[in-house]
Homo-oligomer: A and B are copies of this chain.
Amino acid sequence: MTETDAVLRAVRERVDPTATERERLRTVADRLVERAEAAIDERDLDADVVRVGSTARGTWVRGDRDIDVFVRFPPSLERDELEEHGLAVGNAVLPNGHEEYAEHPYVKGEFEGYDVDLVPCYAVESAREIRSAVDRTPFHTDYLATRLDDDLAADVRLCKQFLKGIGAYGSDLKTEGFSGYLTELLVLEYGGFRALLEAAAEWHPPVELDPESHGEASFDDPLVVVDPTDPERNVAAVVSAANVARLQHYARRFRDDPRESYFFTSARDPMDAAAVRAALADRGTRALAVRFDDERLAGLVEDQRYPQLRRSLDGLVRGLEERGFEVVRAATWADETAVLFCELAVAELPAIERHRGPPVHVGEHAAGFYEKYADDDAVYGPYIDGDRYVVERERSVRSAAAFAESELESVALGHAVERLVAAGDYVVLADADVAVLAEEFGTELAAYFDPRP
């Protein structure tokens, strides 16, 4: 047995569901389906019940306790009726559940120790005809049910665990990683976890996979996996370039040095305030943080919050750099509060800035420039440098912190962030004062200051 085989076997012993777990899951899932069917009959509805998701496909990792049950109604049903009947069935099946809302409402609840989603959808003819994203899910399960045998399902589990270990699992917009369905398709496409790793180590993005050879749409993403059930959709659309690179990096690391630890990373020890101050002193950088305490922002669901924060961080970084404050690195974190964090090479600049005018020979434009500044005692110049007029005029903001205090509105921000900035509902922290962030973001700061992947 090779070293790699040994590692994978050891991982399987930790991630394969036990026989008891399988049996118990099957029993509970069957009971849920029965309850749903009974609720349908009782209301004399035209609907059927299907199980979807990883527990339906046998690809769940030991300990997962999610069961997804979909109730399919005919496409002729009006949407408000679908919602009404769907919730009625859901509440009957999960009397202790509560209603949630994605594209339309569904019921979420606990049942015999499992976390259950009971979701109404339309029984469309094909995934091309879906009315909402959930209509697509049963097609995924159908597609995989006939293709994933036990060996491949076991490899999917290995792969999911590997992606979890390297921090690239999950299609939420915080992670921007690999979804369960994407993981299943990749393992299926390459014929196993090891073959996928070998291929990924040599990928040259953009990587395009099209299992059913639809060849219809083209996508502008580093990784493209055309949905076998919907030619218009890239299953990997959400995966960031960094997560593609991360998979490639670890695929090579694992090839060169197979270790179980890649699958199970332990959480970092959080940094305390003193350690943050010491790290900044060691690096000799200047820190700047913009912190939002408002619950209006904290109240956003994760999938809205992170894109907004990333957009705002990009805007802040661009704004700083356009004004001459060079950014070394930047990050955004959110928990109770949300933070835009920048580490700067330059945080203070002179009172004046060089402003290059037109070449002296460009007639009216040059004369206009000269006349604009000729009698302005606040500027140095205009003087002639090479063939151009130049002035040195007063700089509007001399420090990065002042920029964040007074000109943050001028950069591109996420909508919710923009509202808070307009209202002045934010705090600017500079240099050693950012150490206070360790109280809430000690783990994130630890990863930031020791970024080795």
Give the B-binding residues of A (Cβ under 8 A).
202-205, 222, 241-242, 244-246, 248-249, 252, 282-286, 324, 326, 328-329, 345-346, 349-354, 359-361, 363, 367, 370, 374, 380-388, 392, 398, 449-453
| A203, B349: Cα distance in complex, Å | 38
Residues in chain B near residue A398, CB distance under 8 A? 284
Cβ A360 vs Cβ B451 within 8 A: no
Q: How far is the CA of A450 from the CA of B387 in the complex (A)?
A: 19
Q: How far is A350 from B345 in the complex, measured between Cα atoms in Å?
A: 6
A152 to B27, CA, bound (A): 113
Query: What 9 pairs between A and B have smallest CB-CB spacing?
Result: A383-B451, A284-B351, A245-B360, A284-B350, A241-B387, A285-B350, A245-B387, A245-B384, A283-B352
| 8 Å CB contact of A346 from B346, B367, B381 | B346
Contact of A324 among B249, B326, B329, B351 (CB under 8 A): B326
B202 touches A392 (CB 8 A): no
**With A354-B328, A387-B245 as contacts: A380 and B449 at CB distance below 8 Å:** yes
Distance in Å: Cβ of A179 to nearest Cβ of chain B:
20
**Which residue of B is nearest A449, CB measured?**
B380
| Cβ-neighbour of A450 out of B252, B361, B380 (below 8 A) | B380
Contact across chains for B386 and A245 when beta carbons are under 8 A apart: yes
Q: Is the CB of B350 within 8 A of A349?
A: no
- In the assembled complex, the Cα of A384 lies from the Cα of B284 at a distance in Å of 22
Q: Are B249 and A385 in contact (CB under 8 A)?
A: no
Inter-subunit contact A283/B351 (CB<8 Å): yes
Chain B residues closer than 8 Å to A329, beta-carbon distance? 354, 392
Q: Which residues of B contact A353 (CB under 8 A)?
A: 328, 345
Question: Which residues of chain B are within 8 angstroms of A354 by Cβ–Cβ distance?
Answer: 328-329
